[in-house]
Amino acid sequence: MNHQFDPTVLREYDIRGIIGKTLGPDDARAIGRGLATLLRRDLDGKVDTPMVAVGYDGRVSSPMLEHALVEGLTSSGCDVRRIGMGATPMLYYAEASADEVHGGIQITGSHNPANYNGFKMVFRGRPFFGEDIQTLGHMAAQGDWIDGSGSVESVDIIDEYVERMLAALAGVDEAALSGIKVGWDAGNGAAGPALELLAQRLPGEHHLLFTEVDGNFPNHHPDPTVEANLADLRKLVAEKNLDFGVAFDGDGDRIGAIDGEGRVIWGDQLLMIYAEDLLARLPNATIIADVKASRALFDHVSACGGKPLMWKTGHSLIKSKMKEVSSPLAGEMSGHVFFADEYYGFDDALYAGVRLLAASARLGKSVTQLRSDMPQMLNTPEMRFQVDESRKFAAIDEVKARLTGDDVPEGIEVNATDGVRVNTPDGWWLLRASNTQDVLVARAESDSEEGLERLLALIDEQLALSGLERGESVGH
């Protein structure tokens, strides 16, 4: 018996598709069989029956996929620990905190529309992505699966998970914490139930929005990196005169935030706050951010006594790099924040919310003050434009070749970690190929409007030399 996946669903960092069109229960069953087979081969008899933790988000299709996934895992000889509906980081916690668990799978469509769903995976403590995901496809096509029989248990870990997050406040001045007032927006996503329990236990005053899990997302789309989705939170913070607000994506692994004045605190700006707090305790630590992050962040990490490291975009790539260089903190513009300092190194937006409280109290400054202290850089949003899949990486290579040749203009410095990030006297601009879509991504930052215009002109010039143009920006 074998199985063919729709070619669009096996992506760089996860498996994702449209229910009833490109993704269904047969795919879930094949994923279970493939991961179970890989685990058994990797453990090579060291464990009689490996165990995999399985969780799912609040989407309407998630229980159906979970049922089929568990069937696949057990029929290839893995035991399953079902943790039920919850945020993706709760699944990561179930995998990271128990020695007897060897892998984890969360069924989630993340911040995609309600008719999407997918799978995020962990394999023996490391991210499962890229070639790993392609391997599942090859194995399914050949029916290359081990037969076996596994058992299933259901475990309720939400209280334990919430308790573990509260440890972030140990040793923080209680008086400082008790005066903090926070708004939280779960966006009807899977983080809602854990958020309700967490807010009951947190010091200070807490106001919650949309904690009821609803896979149709009736109030707003659960993507906190889109400013329009923060309107309800902004209103709450203004009406209740709160210190700041925190929002989550559909599966709770990405954080969005606003300060007391309603200003967005973008992913790299949050990282500036976390880094300042952490470096006071861990001087010389390496702090990682993706290539889309502001120069202000890298400068701030250096000024606070840390070592900034620019790395490739992609949560799996960042997690892998953290392990490689023993970094205690990393983050992406997209709102993924990773704490290996006093935590497990995975992206957990609920935990990041607690750490924001702790940072504000420890630094003795309101989140609004911390946001105001940041340099006022001018930057574009992330611009994404369609380029044929077969052309996107080649175009970036052409740009790279032109900017690293013999006749490069003076004052230009190129970082080719992920695409091309070009420093000029005006600031910097970035052009990179998305790993998950047929798009190029561009961004630019300057300290003046004129400088920003010049940087955008440089992007347009390089695109034109490769027969491309920015055109209309497309969504995620």
110 is catalytic: yes
Helix ranges (DSSP H) in 171-312? 174-178, 192-201, 231-240, 267-281, 295-303
Q: 378-465: CATH homologous superfamily? A: Alpha-D-phosphohexomutase, C-terminal domain (3.30.310.50)
Pairing status of strand 439-446 against strand 427-433: antiparallel
Long-range pairs for 199-205: beta carbons < 8 A, 24 or more residues apart: 201/162, 201/166, 202/166, 202/169, 202/354, 202/357, 203/169, 203/174, 203/177, 203/178, 204/177, 204/178, 204/179, 204/180, 204/357, 205/180, 205/181, 205/242
Same fold: 15-156 with 161-372: yes
Reduced DSSP (H G I as helix, E B as strand, rest coil) percent helix, strand, coil of the chain, to 5: 40, 20, 40
Are 249 and 111 in contact, with CB atoms under 8 Å apart?
yes
Q: How many CA atoms lie within 13 A of 108 on its CB side?
A: 31
Every domain of the chain and the residues it spans? 15-156, 161-372, 378-465
Farthest CA pair distance, the chain:
66
Q: What angle do CA 351, 355, 360 make, to 5 degrees?
A: 155
> What average pLDDT score do residues 328-336 get?
96
Q: Does the pLDDT of residue 418 top 70, yes or no?
A: yes
Q: Could you tell me the CA-to-CA distances from 422 to 97, 119, 296, 308 in Å, in that order?
A: 41, 35, 15, 17
Question: Among residues 62, 76, 110, 434, which one is catalytic?
Answer: 110
Q: Does the pLDDT of residue 472 top 80, yes or no?
A: no
Assess if CATH 3.90.79.10 describes domain 161-372. Answer: no
Least confident piece of the model among 23-37, 196-210, 378-392:
378-392
Q: Give the model confidence (pLDDT) of 220-275 as tens digits.
A: 999 999 999 999 999 999 999 999 999 999 999 999 999 999 999 999 999 999 99
Q: Does the pLDDT of residue 81 top 60, yes or no?
A: yes
Of the options 3.40.120.10, 3.60.40.10, 2.120.10.30, 1.10.287.3510, the CATH number for the domain spanning 15-156: 3.40.120.10
Are 226 and 335 in contact, with CB atoms under 8 Å apart?
no
Q: Give the model confidence (pLDDT) of 403-412 as tens digits.
A: 987 777 778 8
In whole angstroms, what is the distance from residue 360 CA to residue 370 CA? 8
- Label residue 129 by pLDDT band (50, 70, 90): very high
